[in-house]
Copies of this chain bind each other. A is one copy, B any other.
Amino acid sequence: MNIKVLILAGGDSSRFWPLEDKHSLKFLDKYLGYYCLGSLAKFGLTDVFIVVNKKNKTIFEGIKRNLNNLNISLVEQTDPRGMAGAIISCANYIKGSPFVVVGPSDIYEEILVANFVDLLKTNPDGVLTGITVDSYFPGGYLSVSKDLVTRIVEKPSPTELPSNIVSFVFHYFKNADLMLSAIERVKSNKDNVYEKAIELLISTGVKFKYLPYTGYWGYLKYPWQVLNVSSYFLKKIKGHKIKSNLISKSASLVGDIWIDEDVKILEGARIIGPAFIGKGTVIGQNSLIRESMIGRNCVIGFNCEIARSYIGDNCWFHMNFIGDSIVSGNVSLGAGAIFTNFRLDERGITSTISGNKSETGRAKLGAIVGPDVRIGANSTVMPGVKIGKNSIIGAGVLLDTDLEDNKFCVLGSRKYIVKNNKLAISNSFRAKAVSKL
């Protein structure tokens, strides 16, 4: 097919802090880009332009080198106007061609691409994909009449929703020139130029077919959403896929588990699936890994519990509890450090986004940790707390608010030292106790 595909990966991801860009995350040891590009290639969409940003450019360069079956170009965004600006930045490449826009935040199943490509065979003017939602979602909404989209509205207020169909940005435009020109005609200061341009096309008679999508929809705008996506990928594992022979006989593996090459699982460790353990990682004695995805070359030392968490590459733990947490690459925890995941008052976990407390919608949520972080022994991180990259948390700290990038947080410990004139330490009791054992 002579269709150009625009993958919009250039956007700002400030709401994703302290995690880097979503394209820097690996799931089942592969960057998201591989999943997206793989499904496009499978259905013949091989002419791809990826609008990148500074954080993910290197990653996409690597992907480009590895995927020879696609014709990939990386584009830097030159026009700041959101999705519309991204399209304009690709104007020279798409002029005169049909093109597809693939949105910045979505994870979906391959059936979407299959159905999309099928629909293209009917030679439509355009295609807009949508997904029916049960509750309010802060995105674009579609009004649909028969098989055509009649309206698209970006972020309507929750009380004025035109429908329960959210626009899923997997959109097709047969005539790039019409869309490029429509974008230039829209006057708007808001982040809705793209949608306004589509409405302009509709008003001038362009027919957008509606493609309903009913499969899995993973959405990565807020960092805690990584847990949902991680869970989605973990569920793809079926049975045992064990590529290492360094697993102790006294270790136990229960459920669907993928253990990659050179993984060591030491004595008494227990892995409860679905779980993924990346290449070269060590799972220490007696540790328990439950429903988690763990990256490469990690050392999960003695007596850790990691439950329902996403752990990046090169992490180093030791006698820790990490529950419902997201940990970037190159993060170390001292012995006894704990990521709590549940409020004592049993309320839902909130997280601060742009200075405001937001509901995460999760009853359990632990810490969210950026890359290159060190966390001291016997420290405690409260539910939903975020820690910026290259920061250090000292031993014994109770961290109950977010910590910015590049900070050092140390305990202002108060302790008193007095003369021990009260007792000479004996070992009488202990001796008795030993004799009882």
The reply on A391 being an interface residue by CB < 8 A is: yes
Per-residue CB contact flags for chain A residues 309-332 toward chain B (1 = under 8 Å, else 0) read: 000001010110101000000101
Least Cβ–Cβ distance between A318 and chain B, in angstroms:
7
Question: In whole angstroms, how far apart are the Cα atoms of A389 and B17 in the complex?
Answer: 40
The reply on A162 being an interface residue by CB < 8 A is: no
- Once the chains bind, are A417 and B403 in contact (CB under 8 Å)? yes
- Once the chains bind, are B407 and A419 in contact (CB under 8 Å)? yes
Least Cβ–Cβ distance between A364 and chain B, in angstroms:
9
Question: In whole angstroms, how far apart are the Cα atoms of A380 and B395 in the complex?
Answer: 7
Query: Which residues from chain B contact A437 at a C-beta distance below 8 Å?
Result: 264, 282, 299
Decide yes or no: A335 and B321 within 8 Å by CB, A345-B374, A411-B414 being known contacts.
yes
Q: How many residues of A contact B (CB 8 A)?
A: 84
The reply on A226 being an interface residue by CB < 8 A is: no
| Interface of chain A, main secondary structure | loop
B286, B314, B430: the one contacting A268 at CB < 8 Å is B286
Query: Which residues from chain B contact A14 at a C-beta distance below 8 Å?
Result: none
- Once the chains bind, are A424 and B390 in contact (CB under 8 Å)? yes
Least Cβ–Cβ distance between A168 and chain B, in angstroms:
31
Decide yes or no: A418 and B414 within 8 Å by CB, A303-B303, A395-B398 being known contacts.
no
Question: In whole angstroms, how far apart are the Cα atoms of A344 and B400 in the complex?
Answer: 20
- Once the chains bind, are B344 and A392 in contact (CB under 8 Å)? yes
Query: Which residues from chain B contact A377 at a C-beta distance below 8 Å?
Result: 321, 338, 340, 380
- Once the chains bind, are A412 and B409 in contact (CB under 8 Å)? no
- Once the chains bind, are B411 and A398 in contact (CB under 8 Å)? yes
- Once the chains bind, are B408 and A420 in contact (CB under 8 Å)? yes
**Which residues of A, 375-425, contact B by the 8 Å Cβ criterion?**
375-380, 382, 390-392, 394-400, 403, 406-425
Nearest-CB residue, chain B, relative to A428: B346
Decide yes or no: A430 and B390 within 8 Å by CB, A286-B288, A302-B288 being known contacts.
no
Query: Which residues from chain B contact A223 at a C-beta distance below 8 Å?
Result: none
Question: In whole angstroms, how far apart are the Cα atoms of A33 and B436 in the complex?
Answer: 33
Nearest-CB residue, chain B, relative to A323: B335
The reply on A270 being an interface residue by CB < 8 A is: yes
Per-residue CB contact flags for chain A residues 346-383 toward chain B (1 = under 8 Å, else 0) read: 10000000000000000100000000111111111010
B314, B332, B342, B372: the one contacting A424 at CB < 8 Å is B372
B268, B288, B336, B340: the one contacting A334 at CB < 8 Å is B340
Nearest-CB residue, chain B, relative to A280: B434
Question: In whole angstroms, how far apart are the Cα atoms of A332 and B344 in the complex?
Answer: 8
B297, B403, B414: the one contacting A413 at CB < 8 Å is B414
Per-residue CB contact flags for chain A residues 249-263 toward chain B (1 = under 8 Å, else 0) read: 010100000000000
Query: Which residues from chain B contact A319 at a C-beta distance below 8 Å?
Result: 305, 321, 338
The reply on A177 being an interface residue by CB < 8 A is: no
- Once the chains bind, are A396 and B380 in contact (CB under 8 Å)? yes
- Once the chains bind, are A373 and B425 in contact (CB under 8 Å)? yes
Nearest-CB residue, chain B, relative to A268: B268
Per-residue CB contact flags for chain A residues 281-310 toward chain B (1 = under 8 Å, else 0) read: 010011010000000010100110100000
B316, B378, B425: the one contacting A378 at CB < 8 Å is B378
Other CB < 8 Å A-B pairs besides A321-B335, A346-B430, A408-B420, 6 of them? A280-B434, A346-B428, A363-B429, A373-B425, A395-B400, A411-B413
Q: List 28 A-B contacts (CB under 8 A).
A: A270-B285, A282-B434, A285-B288, A286-B288, A286-B303, A303-B305, A316-B430, A319-B321, A330-B425, A334-B338, A335-B340, A336-B336, A336-B338, A336-B380, A344-B374, A345-B374, A345-B423, A345-B425, A363-B429, A372-B424, A373-B425, A390-B425, A397-B413, A398-B415, A400-B413, A408-B420, A410-B418, A411-B415
Q: Which 9 A-B pairs have the closest CB atoms?
A: A412-B414, A344-B374, A396-B398, A321-B335, A372-B425, A408-B420, A378-B380, A340-B377, A398-B413
